[in-house]
Amino acid sequence: MSSSDPQAPLSVKSVALGVCGGIAAYKAVEVLRGLQRAGCSVRVAMTKRACEFVQPLTFRALSGSHVIVDDYAPDNPDPIAHITFSQTVDLLVVAPATANIIAKFANGVADDFLSSTYLACTAPVLIAPAMNTTMWEHPATQRNLRQLRADGVYFVEPDAGEMACGTIGPGRLSEPERIVSAALEILASAGRPKDLASERFLITVGATREEIDPVRFISNRSSGKMGFALAEAAVRRGATVTVVAGVTTVDPPAGLRVVKALSADEMLKAVASEAGKASVFIGAAAIADYRPAQRAEQKIKKSNESITLTLERTPDVLSQVAASRANGMLVVGFAAETENVLENAKAKLRSKKLDAIVANDVSREDSGFDTTTNQIAIITADNAVELPVMAKSEAADRILDVIVALRQ
């Protein structure tokens, strides 16, 4: 069983769980129970507003420990709790995390117990946001998220769906089991050796755009989440990582060198420029297979009932990297399929002469484009392993485990 398996036994780890005020606060109970079932010792801190949704007694009964809301409360057994609480744990998880607490963390505000705990914390921090869609998409919130990512904070992205307020869109707290899975992955990776310290990764991420005219283009739904998860996991395991990024809906994690490339031609040019310095290439980008044979210089007017576009193939970046590789470079591809997933992926592995390929069914709602989870199969010349649905961060480490095995 892999060390990144969320069901694999962990030595007893201490986790601090921060709970903020929001309707999703009740789900923090399931996060607590999931961490306990995995063998973690959990202590809980709550904001005052969180107590209006779930009483501290609930968490105290389940955790067996005093729940801290206010450093200065007369029943607080520790006069410097934000120091001892934060510096004696292996991980701080904040779920749900409101826009308010995210803003405090990003700007160094420490005006309550939880925000003071964050500033004093020496352990990794995992945040699971939950808020109204408009608040989530507001430039201020997105700016704060970018700052926290640059500070090294981990995130479990919120799900899209119907909110308690009736809004439909991104912002709903991710499912507790996904938060627990991400937490266990961080705990497992903390003790993992830097087994990729000698590797230099080149990873393509996101979608490309092939212009029809100055306004319109051909593209796809790739968000870049899986590619960035791979890049982040590789950095965590010691690798030097360069990302060639097309269009993405998420920001790159900290610690990466990012080269932008919007079209297939631009991506080929950027990859060709960087490939000679790489020891591992992962083609996670969803590069458009076809582009207009001729790009209109001006916007095509809506004058006819129909128009015909003649399309031509774009350059096959993955095949060209595999064909021209040198110095023992490993080449890993992705196969986004909607039918005959394993068969099509195996054919692609052979035809492009890859070392490994990662296949997934993008027609599923819980896997593929723009989701926080993935259900993948990792295929090599000698083996094919189908994995259950898991967080993309965990799937990334499973893929890297195969790369380590191939190198050995």
- Give the residue numbers annotated as catalytic, written as ranges: 165
- Residue linked to tokens 């036994």: 9
Integer CA distances (angstroms), 323 to 164, 179, 205, 329, 355, in order = 53, 40, 20, 11, 12
Query: Are the C-beta atoms of 100 and 23 separated by less than 8 Å?
Result: no
The one-letter code for the residue type at 179 is I
b/e map 103-139, b = 16+ CB within 10 Å: bbbbeeeeebbbbbbbebbebbbbbbbbbbbebbeee
**Amino acid residing at 217:** F
The C-alpha atoms of residue 1 and residue 86 are separated, in whole angstroms, by 31
Residue 33, beta-bridge partner list: none
**Quick one: how far is CA 367 from the chain centroid?**
13
- Residue 96: cis peptide before it, omega within 30 degrees of 0: yes
**Residue 73 dihedral angles phi and psi, to the nearest 5°:** -65, 140
Q: Which of 89, 163, 99, 165 is nearest to 129 (CA)?
A: 99
Q: Are the C-beta atoms of residues 182 and 156 closer than 8 Å to each other? A: yes
The answer to whether residues 328 and 335 touch, using CB atoms and an 8 Å cutoff, is no
Residue 292 in tokens: 């207009």
| Torsion 328-381-246-208 (CA) sign | positive
83 three-class SS: helix
Contact 260, 312 (CB under 8 A): no
Q: How far apart are CA 13 and CA 71, in angstroms?
A: 24
List of E strands, 315-381 = 330-337, 356-361, 373-374, 376-380
